[in-house]
Structure 1
Amino acid sequence: MKIYGYENGDDSGKLLDLSEVSICFESSEEAERFADFAVRCANNMKAMGNGYDHEHLIDFDEKQFPSSKPDIVIARLSEANR
């Protein structure tokens, strides 16, 4: 597993290789919806094999995670990034 991210407010598009990330939820319901998203991604990754690329949290639940909040992307780690 690797963790990547963009600095808030930085429009350069430079992807940062992070050593740690904190995900802070407003409620237990929000944490549960994130967990549902992660499980769905895992199931899709298993079903699609190497055809799986990535999924965005805001596409999974736009009401709970609107585009005004940070997006979380779950992606298959490519061989080039290992």
Structure 2
Amino acid sequence: MATKLQKKVVRILKEEMPDIKAFFEPTDSGLVTGAVVSRRFARMQFLQRQRLLQRVLRKGLTADENQKVGTIAALTPAEAEVPA
């Protein structure tokens, strides 16, 4: 079940990237971690993707909430495909 902070992170990211799909799992530490998938990440290097996520989340989260956001992988739809 998604936590309140996970839902807020998804809402904030969707405002910037409406096509985003988020995959978060609860963690024992309480950190929000997981992966997000968006076409927006196409032709972006790893660091550019992370900076985009940081910029968007920094604008929408409090400093305390930002401290509770852990690693989030940023993938394109093609990168997220897993062969069956």
Greater strand content: 2
Q: TM-score range by the shorter chain?
A: 0.3 to 0.5
More helix by percentage: 2
Question: Bigger relative contact order, structure 1 or 2, given CA contacts below 8 A and separation 6+?
Answer: 2
Structure 1-normalised TM-score?
0.35
**TM-score, reference length from structure 2:** 0.35
